[in-house]
Each structure stands twice: as C-alpha cells, then as structure tokens.
Structure 1
Amino acid sequence: MKPIHPVALFRLAVLGPLASRTLSRGELQQTLRNLAQKDYEIPGSTRTRLGEKTIEAWYYAWTKHGIDGLVPRPRQDRGQSKLPAVVQEAIVQAKQENPRRSLAQIQRLLESTGLVARGSVSTSAIHRLLQRQGLSRAARAQQTEERRSFTAGHAGDLWYGDVLHATRVPVNGQMRKAYLVSLLDDASRLVTHSAFCLGETALDIEGVLKQALLKRGLPVKLVVDNGSAYRAHTLQGICARLGIHLIYCRPYAPEGKGKLERWHRTFRDQFLSEIDARHITHLDDLNARLWAWLEQVYHRTPHGGLQGLTPLARYQQNLPRIRNLGGRAAQLDALFYHREKRLVRKDGTVAYLGQRFEVPFELAGQTVMLVVDPHQGQVIGVEDAEGNSLGQATPLDALANLHRRRHKPEAASAPQTPRQGPNLVEMAHEQYYGEEA
C-alpha cells in the first residue's frame, strides 16, 4: 500500500472541522478565520501560524482531489529562470568576476549599467539563478572539498602548534586554569616541546617555541591557528628572523591539524587520566610530570602511524637533515626580546611592570624603545626607532642617587680678550653722552 505523505496528513489534520461536514459560505469563512488563529507544529518550518488563504486553498484541493490534493507539488517552473538570457549572463559574469559580491551589489550593478529597470529584478531571483549555477554561498558549501592524508617527508619539515584547555592547578592558594601549549613534528609525531601555562597568550606560545628550538632545531614550516595570539607581531618577527615559514590554518578547518588532535587525545587518555592531584601543588609540579612522561613514555612508545617506530626513533632517522641553530643559539635570547615604546621622564627614568629604570639622562623627554626580556621580566636597554642602541637601563636606586654626583652643563667662561666688533651698549652710551664722554 502506498504510504500517505506526512505533509498531506498534517494538512488534513488542520482541515479537520472543514473536512467532516458541508459548510455554507459564511460558516466556511468563520471556520477558516478560527483555524488561522491557532498554533501548529508545521513540518519543516519554525513558524506556528497558517494564513487563511493557505488553509482555504488546501480545503478546495481536498474537496476536488481528496488526500492526493494535499500532497505538496513541486513548482512547474523549478530549475528555470524568467530573466532574459542577457540578464542571466550578466549576473553569472558579475559573480564570477568577484565571488564576494552580494546579491544587493549585483542588483545595483545591473541597474547602474542600465541593463534592467530599477526594482524590476529581485535579489531572490538573482539568488535562485546563482544557486542553480552553483555560484551561491549555500551551493558552494554543499560541494565536497577534496582532502587527502599527507605526511611530511622528513622530521623538521613541518611543525604544528596549538593550545589545549587542559586542567586546573593550585597557584598561590587558588585554583587556576592551566593551558597546554604544544608543538608537534608532523613526520615523527615527536612533541618538540610542550608546557602547561597559566594563559594562552603570544608570550606563552613564544616561551614554548624557544625551548623547542633549543632542543629540536629549526623547522622549515610552522602551522598554527588563526587566533590573535598566533598573529602577534612578536611571533611573526621571530619566525621571519629565523627563516621559519609561519602558516595559518583556515578558520573552522580543524582537519588541517589532525595529527595534533590525535596527540591531544593521547594526552588526555594517558596523562591527564593518571594525574594524582595529591602530588600537584604548583604549576611546576604539573610540568615536571609532563616532561618526564613525554621523554620516558610517549616518545618511546611505538606509534601506529609510524609503521611501529617510536616518535623518537623516527625523529632520529633525520638528524642529519635537522636545521640546527648553530651560531644563532648565542643570539636566541635577543631574538625573543620585546620592544616597548616609552617616554623618558624628566628624571631620566622609564617604567616597566611597575618598576622604574634609569636610562642615559640625555634621553629625558624623548620617546624610546625599551628592550625587555618578557620571559625573565628583565629590562635590557633602550633603542631608537631604527633599532640602534641608546644605552643601558638599570633599576632605579633612589637611596644611592641621594649621594650621586649630578652631571651639570658647563658654565660659559668669561671672554679673555675684549670684543672687537660693534657693541650695542657702547653705541647707546656714546649717543646719550656724546663724544666727550
């Protein structure tokens, strides 16, 4: 037996009072008005009310064709456009030339060029045409993007970076959220460095990157999220100076970092589930156990995606190819310094993290770049806007300054020989007293 269309059943239920008896014209209109004031759970719609004309159309379709008359019929002109061919061509061309053009922009373009009269082509008509051509946003979203698994050819070719909201840890008597910042090598699945941090800022990420570089050398590419922390100018500058190609994942496309997501699952299942909170009294306790587990367990466990090799063994296969820091290791700290713009006060000091530092007194009143090591909270010195050193910055010692000899400008010494040129005072004296004076 042929099943009844669920929409037809719904419409018949709405027509209940009309389908059970014959009504006069006045009774029909009153009943339609009453039915239109009720709330319904309409299939495939979030609306709850029906119009009188809609219910009336269903009623006459039922009286003429029975239940089959209540089955929804597709539009006869579906798939066709009533727009002239030249207008259709212009719409398609406008969208292809600039896929970011909105429906309203295309409509204005057609009207501005005189191709159509103002208001004669609706945005819905443009949308239907673009949808049939596969050029609308919805149509593109339905298209399946080709994705293929890949693996970097060698360790050090590609690293991934990401942050995981991990657990809570006691800090100064209060429970704080701890974030796991990790860098993972694609080819070997080796975690080049990972650490629990109390934030997910650019400074936290840079601290983990610095340790990873010291331990595992320089990657060719570093793939990270689109978040603001990863787009910090300081991180971009570090990668640029070290020759690391910084790549940002597309928003809402986690498939690009599948291996890192797999590492996070392993971390949750094998590390977080085993943590004994009785031994964790500080962030340092958590990190100490993380680093021990990484080196003793994770890196030495055969990995299914590595044909049974451990991450450490796979990484060691490519040791000759790893880009070492070499001579840049001595300058690595300087590469991670930050520059903070400061105005030097009249007393020759600048402020940083609530402390005051003395700089060369000649800089008073000038704007300088304060060079700081944000990981150690230290001030290194001052530079000009071009990066030229202007001197050191030392913590202010107000007590020592009490007995400190001040530098004073040299006083102008009196001339040793009489002036030979004209003198305004003498000229005035001669004019007032005459030549006899």
Structure 2
Amino acid sequence: MGCRASFPVFAASCPSAGLACMSHSDRAANHAGLRVPRFLSFPTQHLHGGRSLLLIIVRGMEIFRMDAKAEKLALFRYGLIAPLIIERLPRGELTRRAQEIAARTYDIPHSKRTSVSVDTLLDWALRYRNGGFEALAPKPREDRGQSRTVTPQLASLIERLKRENPHRTGTTLLRELALSSGQDTPALSASTLYRFLKQRGLSEKQLLAPAVHKKFEAEHSNQIWQADMLFGPWVRRVNGGRMQAFLHATLDDASRLIPHAQFYASQGLDASLDCLRHAVAARGLPARLYIDNAKIYRSPQLARIAASLGILIVHSRPYQPEGRGKIERFFRTVRDQFLANLDPKHALSLEELNDRLWIWIESVYHRSEHSALGSTPLARWQRDIEQIRQLPPATDLRRLFFHRLDRVVRRDSTFLLHNRLYEAPPHLAGQRVEVRFDPLDAAEVEIWFQGKLDIAARPVDPVVNGQLPSVKRTAAAEPEPTGINFVELLKQKQEKE
C-alpha cells in the first residue's frame, strides 16, 4: 500500500483500462449504466513541429485538442479512475476502491503533490462520465493570453512605440514608459514586457521578418528559366598550376531540366552569357529568365540580348534567395552526386571536368525520377515540346550574343579592346565606332560605323606596326575660290551708301 509509482498499476483481475475506451460498441457502457462517449485518440506530434497534441474524436464529430501537458495529466487521471468507471459498482464498492487508490502515493505530472483524495477521485470519475476523456484535462484560464498587468491603454502605447521603431530594445521601452508617465520606475517588469511583445508579435525579429514566400512552379516547360553560378573545384591550368572553376547553369522551372551547364574560368558576365547562348541553342527560348540581383545580371549587354530574343528578365529581391530554390537544389545535387565523387588525387583540366559533367547530367540527372515531378526531368520537358519557342533557322545566334562597345579610332588607325590593339581602316581614324565581338573568342572583331558593318578588325602587333610606314591621307582637291570676303563686302556696302 505504501509503494510509489509514476503511473498506477492494478491487479490482473481488473480489466484493462484501455479496452472500454477503444471499444466501438456501447453495449458494455450501457450495461454498466454509464454515459461513456465513444472516442478514438491518436498522436499528432508529426503535424505540429514536434509538439504533441491529442485529438479526441467523439460522437457528433466534435474535435477537442490538448497540448502535451494537458494530455499527460488527463492520461494520469484516467489511469487512476479506470477501476471506478469500467463497470457498474455499488456505492460502497465504489468508495472502497477509491479509498484503496487514494492510499497510494504517485508521481503526479507537473505537481509536487504525491497523493490524491477520495473526493477528488470521485469528482474525476463523475467528470469522465459526463464529459468523456477531454473532461479530465485541466480547464484553461478564461483570461489566458491576456495580460492582467498591461492595461489596454498601456498596450496600445507599447505597440505604437515598437511599430514606430522595431529596433527599440526592451530596456529603452521601459525607460521611455517610465519617463512618459512621470514615474521613476516603469509600471511593468521586463519579463512581463518581453512576454507581451512576443505574444503580440511585436519583437524585433517578428516585426522585421521577411514576407512569406509561396511555393511556385511554372505550368509549361520553357515558361521560366533560372540561372545562377556555383563556386566549383580547382582544376589544372593548361600552362601549369591550378585555378578555380565556376559552374554557370540554367534550369527549366517546370521540368527541372538543365538546358546548359558548364564550368568556366570566370564568374563574370562573359561566362554567364556564353552559358545562356548554349542553353538557347540546345533547348529553345524561355519566356522569362529569373536571375538574382548581382551586378553582372544587370548589364546592358544582357538586357539588349534578352530584348532581341524576346525574353523577359526578372530579378529576385536582394538578400531573398528563396525564389531560386530549385537551382540551388540542383547545385546541392551537383555537390553531393558529382563533385563528391571526383578523384581528388587526379587533377582535371577545365575541358575534362566539363566532359564528365555532361555525361553525368545526360545519363543520370536527366533520366532519374524527380520526387516533386513523379517523372524524369527529360520526360517532363518533352511533354511540352510542341509549345517550345524556337529561333528562326536563319538566325545567327553567335553574332546575336556579341558584346557591343564604343571605341574611338586613334590617328594611327588602331583602337584598344581588352588590352589588345586592333587595326581599323584609315578613313575611320578619329571616328567613334561600335565594336562587336565574342568575349570568349576575340579573334573575330567587327567594326560598325553609323549602323552599318564596315569591316572586320585585324589584331595588331605593336612591334611590327611601328616599323611600317604611315599611311598618308589622300589630299582632297582644292575647291574653286568663291570671291566672297566679309571685310570686302562691308567696304563695298559702305561705298554704295
């Protein structure tokens, strides 16, 4: 009788406490003269971020919710009164069993008490008969969530002060409240203030939290492309040494297919535009290109190319990368499944690294089922292939992606482009021309003058160019004299007067 248990244990002669509750028949309860509602219970901690809740489904489909603390206490109380409610008992036997249960000591959840009185046990049993399992849970306070210290006027003032400047600290708020009320000390404690701010969503973190981003997905392939850059591994230089490679990639939002991805020696605009050019050549034109807010993606070169191709450039908001989650997830797949499996003892060149990358993309990534799609990226992209917008066959895509820069031709008929001299025709000396070129292959440079292609520029060797004779301009023929002179005309006019 003096044993102590964290949960009551009864003799084997007593029926299991859970059998009556889980029964789908009311016959046993009606035979005992008890109004025990039928209910089912199941844990829901997987639905609430780990916080256990108990859903009680009673007759009439009404749902009651308990938090973990209330559930634990209700289960403890039910374990104590189960022998009193599972069968019909005479009054004397009911009291005797209650006295027997009350004589023991227990570890009562969330309480320092170790015993329960007979009257309390009988009260719990009555509450169970009238209201079911949920009636055993402690009733929440009617003023729960309402501060008894913070008056409505004070609450309004605190909210206005905090919204006016979300960076106001609790200490500053307390001082301002005390000074504004003409008192030496504030009307509430620091803990009460912090609790009030958190309950009302007025903490600095809550007020300055970024807007919630909804998950989105394009309806058709090539409706939205995402583009970004990933810092890659170190590769072997052609002339010896090592350098870091940068992975530029484009991803189709609807299918997760990769129109093009390639490692480059540069992380700048030149590499990004080359990747986009290969992507358009391989998979057609996207309607929108979703990129971040970096400087290279706000280049006029990209804006001009997009306008020529009929592509709408959409920039994500600064410091909010959530919208580019799909391509970030692709980069994680590249790190986990491709880069992690490269042999660190064997240094690859940039070309060798790209060869292995495309073998992996074409044979593994494009042909593996995507969990969010239920199909492979390649199969999902091909489903909309009839809607893909293609370039006209006569389009010279390479020249369409040429960079365009203005240069002034020097008197020696040369101009400087990326620290390299090029020769222009002599008649363009001193003129401003437009130079069009492929930044990754500067062997071909076009000179445009007054909106028309003039000639292809030729690279110049400064040493050889200095040894060549200067090209003299052809002297223009002198015009016939007009015989008109301003001073002489004035003299003739005066003589006439």
Q: TM-score range by the shorter chain?
A: 0.5 to 0.7
Alignment partner for residue 295 of structure 1, among 347, 352, 362?
A: 362
1:262–1:139 distance in 2 versus 1, CA, 3 Å: closer
Deviations 1:55-114 (A, max 9, x none): xxxxxxxxxxxxxxxxxxx999857668999xx99x99x98xxxxx999xxxxxxxxxxx
The aligned counterpart of 1:362 is 427
Alignment partner for residue 235 of structure 2, among 154, 164, 169?
A: 169
1:409–1:132 distance in 2 versus 1, CA, 3 Å: farther
1:81–1:170 distance in 2 versus 1, CA, 3 Å: farther
Alignment partner for residue 155 of structure 1, among 221, 237, 245?
A: 221
Q: How does 1:338-417 map to 2 (within 5 A)?
A: 338-384=403-449, 387-396=451-460, 398=464, 402=468, 406-410=472-476, 412=478
Q: How does 1:85-124 map to 2 (within 5 A)?
A: none
The aligned counterpart of 1:324 is 390
Partner Cα separation in structure 2 for residue 175 and residue 200 of structure 1 = 16
Partner Cα separation in structure 1 for residue 410 and residue 153 of structure 2 = 72
Answer yes or no: is the 8 Å Cα contact 2:221–2:384 preserved in 1: yes
Give the superposition deviation at 1:177.
1.6
The aligned counterpart of 2:23 is none
The aligned counterpart of 2:292 is 225
Which protein is bigger by CA-based radius of gyration? 2
Ranges in structure 1 where 5+ consecutive residues have no aligned partner: 1-73, 96-100, 104-119, 121-129, 425-437
The aligned counterpart of 2:348 is 281
Partner Cα separation in structure 1 for residue 399 and residue 254 of structure 2 = 30
Partner Cα separation in structure 2 for residue 263 and residue 245 of structure 1 = 23
Deviations 1:95-141 (A, max 9, x none): 8xxxxx999xxxxxxxxxxxxxxxx9xxxxxxxxx999989975532
Give the superposition deviation at 1:211.
0.4
Partner Cα separation in structure 1 for residue 479 and residue 328 of structure 2 = 77
1:142–1:225 distance in 2 versus 1, CA, 3 Å: closer
The aligned counterpart of 1:38 is none
Alignment partner for residue 338 of structure 2, among 249, 271, 274?
A: 271
The aligned counterpart of 1:114 is none
Partner Cα separation in structure 1 for residue 314 and residue 213 of structure 2 = 18
Q: TM-score, normalising length from structure 1? A: 0.61
Partner Cα separation in structure 2 for residue 270 and residue 198 of structure 1 = 22
The aligned counterpart of 1:254 is 321
Comparing 153-162 with 246-255, greater Cα deviation is found at 246-255
Q: TM-score, normalising length from structure 2? A: 0.54
1:399–1:149 distance in 2 versus 1, CA, 3 Å: closer
Local SS of the residue matching 2:298: coil
Give the superposition deviation at 1:382.
2.6
Answer yes or no: is the 8 Å Cα contact 1:279–1:285 preserved in 2: no
Are 1:238 and 2:305 matched, yes or no? Answer: yes
Quote the sequence identity (%). Answer: 36
Answer yes or no: is the 8 Å Cα contact 2:408–2:431 preserved in 1: yes
Ranges in structure 2 where 5+ consecutive residues have no aligned partner: 1-145, 168-179, 181-196, 489-497
- Give, as a single letter, the amino acid of the residue that structure 2 aligns with 1:224: I
Answer yes or no: is the 8 Å Cα contact 1:356–1:396 preserved in 2: yes
Give the superposition deviation at 1:219.
0.6
Give the superposition deviation at 1:149.
2.6
Partner Cα separation in structure 1 for residue 385 and residue 473 of structure 2 = 57
Answer yes or no: is the 8 Å Cα contact 1:349–1:356 preserved in 2: yes
How many residue pairs get matched?
A: 317
Partner Cα separation in structure 2 for residue 382 and residue 140 of structure 1 = 56
Comparing 187-196 with 373-382, greater Cα deviation is found at 373-382
Partner Cα separation in structure 1 for residue 153 and residue 444 of structure 2 = 70
1:134–1:175 distance in 2 versus 1, CA, 3 Å: same
Partner Cα separation in structure 1 for residue 151 and residue 404 of structure 2 = 61
Answer yes or no: is the 8 Å Cα contact 2:406–2:434 preserved in 1: yes
Local SS of the residue matching 1:305: coil
Local SS of the residue matching 1:226: coil
Local SS of the residue matching 1:393: strand
Give the superposition deviation at 1:389.
3.9
The aligned counterpart of 1:6 is none
Give the superposition deviation at 1:217.
0.4
The aligned counterpart of 2:5 is none
Partner Cα separation in structure 2 for residue 320 and residue 401 of structure 1 = 61
Give the superposition deviation at 1:320.
0.7
Give the superposition deviation at 1:155.
1.0
Q: How does 1:204-219 map to 2 (within 5 A)?
A: 204-219=271-286
1:84–1:359 distance in 2 versus 1, CA, 3 Å: same
Partner Cα separation in structure 1 for residue 321 and residue 404 of structure 2 = 33
Answer yes or no: is the 8 Å Cα contact 1:280–1:286 preserved in 2: no
Give the superposition deviation at 1:142.
4.3
Answer yes or no: is the 8 Å Cα contact 2:166–2:208 preserved in 1: no
Local SS of the residue matching 2:274: helix
Are 1:196 and 2:196 matched, yes or no? Answer: no
Partner Cα separation in structure 1 for residue 299 and residue 310 of structure 2 = 17
Partner Cα separation in structure 2 for residue 161 and residue 79 of structure 1 = 53
- Give, as a single letter, the amino acid of the residue that structure 1 aligns with 2:400: L
The aligned counterpart of 1:181 is 248
The aligned counterpart of 2:125 is none
Partner Cα separation in structure 2 for residue 362 and residue 262 of structure 1 = 55
